[in-house]
Amino acid sequence: MVHAEGVRKHFGRLQVLKGIDLTVERGQVCCLLGPSGSGKSTFLRCVNHLERADGGRLRVDGEPVGYREQGSRLHELREREVAARRRDIGMVFQRFNLFPHLTALENVMEAPVKVTGTARTEARDDALRLLRQVGLADRAGHYPAQLSGGQQQRVAIARALAMKPKLMLFDEPTSALDPELVGDVLDVMRGLAEDGMTMVVVTHEIGFAREVADLAVFMDEGVVVESGDPRRVLVEPEQERTRAFLSKVL
């Protein structure tokens, strides 16, 4: 589903990604771990072309991200074409980014109605189903300000799922939450994993990664230091840098 070869990204003179190689198979859950500033979120944003990679190749479901291929050459897509391809990739951010003037139900309905032209009755039925899936059917008429942080994040997950994505990206989805609210969001993500959703998750939740991930990737200073089965990478890491990081967070 995701295949990266030598992906590089820099901001001015700062090189944030220094050649990322990574493959995530369809139906896998991949957790990206590492210290702040290691390039995890930047890589995630490159996967759906919110950031333009400066080098290397990046494909989602076999298609170049942000480009079309003609022979051996890549040609950058127009923004409208990028947006159309981005519909297949759901993204959940650290901050929930809900529309404050819309109810939970309306937030989930908005993209299918406005972007894909789904009939409002169909979009409403789908939105109610998704709110039930994330345990918030009784909050459908509430505005974001009336919801806890954990509830807002679950609405954000439902909103991303409303576009029926083939891939879900999560950028530290629990880091802005009070500790007691984290569990409800992780439970929803566990459910998605059990349903076979392909997911790439930037997270500091080591327990979640150990329990749910099929692939754990430890990044530092813009490179993949170590990757593999979470039970090995997180329990018996081979690299000293991975061991040093885990000793501070476990």
Read off the pLDDT band of 95 (50, 70, 90): confident
Of 60-74, 120-134, 183-197, 213-227, least confident by mean pLDDT is: 60-74
Residue 71 reports pLDDT greater than 80: no
Residue 96 reports pLDDT greater than 90: no
**43: three-class secondary structure by DSSP:** helix
pLDDT in tens, 2-13: 999 999 999 999
Q: What residue ranges do the domains of the chain occupy?
A: 2-247
What average pLDDT does the chain have?
Answer: 94
Stretch 191-210: mean pLDDT: 95
Residue 74 reports pLDDT greater than 80: no
Using CA atoms, how far apart are residues 16 and 11, in angstroms rounded to an integer? 7
Residue 32 reports pLDDT greater than 80: yes
Read off the pLDDT band of 88 (50, 70, 90): very high
pLDDT in tens, 228-248: 999 999 999 999 999 999 999
Q: Which helix (H) or strand (E) holds 5?
A: strand 2-11
The CATH architecture of the domain made up of 2-247 is 3-Layer(aba) Sandwich (3.40)
Using CA atoms, how far apart are residues 134 and 26, in angstroms rounded to an integer? 23
Residue 77 confidence (pLDDT)? 82
Comparing CA positions, the residue from 198, 219, 199, 216 lying closest to residue 207 is: 216
Q: What is the DSSP letter of 144?
A: G
Residue 83 confidence (pLDDT)? 81
Task: Name the token pair of 203.
Answer: 């997270």
**170: three-class secondary structure by DSSP:** strand
